[in-house]
A = this chain, B = another copy of it.
Amino acid sequence: MSLKIALAQINFLVGNIPANVDHMVDAAIIARDELQADIIVFPELSITGYPAEDLLLRSDFISAANNAIYQLGDRVADIAMVVGFPEQDGDALYNSAVVLHQGVILACYRKQALPNYGVFDEQRYFTPGHQPCVFEFNGTFIGLTICEDVWKSGIIEASQQAGAELLLTLNASPFNSGKIHQREAIICQQVHAAKIPLVYVNQVGGQDELIFDGASFVVDAQGEIVFRAEEFKEQISVIEFEGSTPIKAQCAPLYNEISSEYQALVLGIKDYVRKNGFQGALLGLSGGIDSALVLALAVDALGADKVEVVLMPSRYTQDMSNEDALLQAKVLGVNHHIIPIEPAVNAFTDMLADVFSGAAKDTTEENIQARCRGVVLMALSNKQGKLLLTTGNKSEMSVGYATLYGDMAGGFAPIKDVPKLLVYQLAKYRNSLSEVIPERVITRPPSAELAPDQVDADSLPPYEILDPILERYIELDQSAETIIAAGFNVADVRRAISLVDRNEYKRRQSPPGIRITEKAFGRDRRYPITSGYKGIL
């Protein structure tokens, strides 16, 4: 008996239940009428989008989500729909998947494994289920599972013991660099051990810090991938099964790592702007590598007509910075303004002269320059309804090499989880497609240009040393002892770690940005500001 299953890799808007239902109706009709699918499988919690966070604590929101299931069921006939929703039962809330067919609920499964680590807080909201769920459809026995369930041992097997010949898995599995390989390897291994075919449907799209990469797939009972949907794109695909055996189809190739990272950043900007209703984006273009990369990403995400840049030179800005910034604006065809900050800096200097008389110059004066730029950029953002993008990278966020309310001012921080060395790699990668970043921006030594002849290397270890230390300390939670034992210089380790430790307060006020590593500064690294912990003495 043949069965056609559609994988609905969809980009939802968290919280907008009516729009998500409409989106699912459209997808189901396409799957039924154009793809002749018998079943369409949507991602985890598709009704609400994922993660809906504390919206899940609102009874009005949960009622709406539960009612929407019935509305959806009534709106589409002649195709079975497998839909994720937060199921209210008495006082308990479950992360559930329901099978709707001809306006009737055929089956309902409650997620058993609720992740509560990293970026996940599912035990804050949900009660775990304890039962497998298998339903018969056109003679095939199909089991339901949700995301984390298939990463754990035992749940697939329990589903098989309950009679499942084929598994459908609803997912909201966020991207980080390398995640797709890890995800496919683990699922294939589980399937290989259990010998049951599996349909894996992931959502796609940017949601605040998180990027969902899609890349839905189908695995046969031998653990071989027989279909893969594209990464970072909405796609409704259909796979034919003979009984429970999937027929091999076209697999989208995997992007390589750098290309995946670039696409994730583009999608993150695009969705933050679109879903939050901005008219476009703007940023300060300094002639340095960070803002150059952010501009390239923004143009790839939004188109040149939606992006605007501002050059804000000061007395410390080198000519080549202005030249390179202008050149890039021209190459990319974006609108630009030149607004020197000297008048505002002078005004503040005069206003503070009495209070500061006798005090030595220090970073205060550098911060004033950065904050004058912040005021200019925010004024443009406010006036035009454009999203201000900040341009700080992860290395800077880690060590606090950024000015609060200055270059940290903005609504979204696209590269805040991109270490500096990766900024260079991404810039080179983008230039390999077409040259949009002037070569000199990539080759000159990095500088904040807030003091005469300043370069980053004056205050920080070289990025070739700093970045690996930061990765070990932040992403891998390694101790100073371990890092030093791995061959790093004690002074460099001390400098890096002590800066990370004492700059939590800055990170706490930074705008959200796109997570591309295993541990970003956001919901996956929750450190106290007030802290006596010293990673190194």
Of A57, A121, A362, A528, most B-chain CB atoms within 10 Å:
A528
A313 within 8 A of partner (CB): no
Q: What residue of chain B has the Cβ atom nearest to residue A206's Cβ?
A: B530
Contact at A477–B117, with CB atoms within 8 Å?
no
Bound Cα distance from A194 to B409, whole angstroms: 56
Bound Cα distance from A190 to B518, whole angstroms: 44
Q: A343-B350, A526-B121, A529-B208 are in contact. Are A364 and B383 (CB under 8 A)?
A: yes
Q: Report A357-388 residues with CB < 8 Å from chain B CB.
A: 359, 362-364, 367-368, 371-372, 374-376, 378-380, 382-383
Chain B residues within an 8 Å CB radius of A318: none
Bound Cα distance from A376 to B350, whole angstroms: 11
Chain B residues within an 8 Å CB radius of A481: 60
CB proximity of A512 to chain B, nearest CB, Å: 6
Interface string of A253-273 (1 = CB under 8 A from B): 000000000000000000110
Interface string of A474-489 (1 = CB under 8 A from B): 0001011110000000
CB proximity of A304 to chain B, nearest CB, Å: 19
A249 within 8 A of partner (CB): no
Integer count of this chain's copies in the complex: 2
Q: Which residues of A contact B (CB under 8 A)?
A: 13-17, 19-20, 49, 51-55, 57-61, 116-117, 121, 123-124, 206-208, 271-272, 275-276, 337, 339-341, 343-344, 346-348, 350-352, 354-356, 359, 362-364, 367-368, 371-372, 374-376, 378-380, 382-383, 404-405, 409, 411, 477, 479-482, 505, 508-512, 525-533, 535
A375 partner, pick from B272, B354, B372, B380, beta carbons under 8 A: B372
A123 partner, pick from B15, B123, B411, B527, beta carbons under 8 A: B123
Bound Cα distance from A477 to B19, whole angstroms: 23
Bound Cα distance from A355 to B341, whole angstroms: 14
Bound Cα distance from A527 to B16, whole angstroms: 14
Can you name 8 A-B residue pairings with CB atoms under 8 Å? A16-B532, A19-B532, A52-B528, A58-B477, A344-B347, A352-B380, A371-B405, A375-B375
CB proximity of A533 to chain B, nearest CB, Å: 3
Contact at A371–B368, with CB atoms within 8 Å?
no
Contact at B531–A15, with CB atoms within 8 Å?
yes
Bound Cα distance from A60 to B359, whole angstroms: 41
Contact at A54–B527, with CB atoms within 8 Å?
yes
Q: What residue of chain B has the Cβ atom nearest to residue A411's Cβ?
A: B505
Contact at B351–A378, with CB atoms within 8 Å?
no
Bound Cα distance from A36 to B227, whole angstroms: 74
A116 partner, pick from B19, B54, B116, B343, beta carbons under 8 A: B116
Contact at A348–B14, with CB atoms within 8 Å?
no
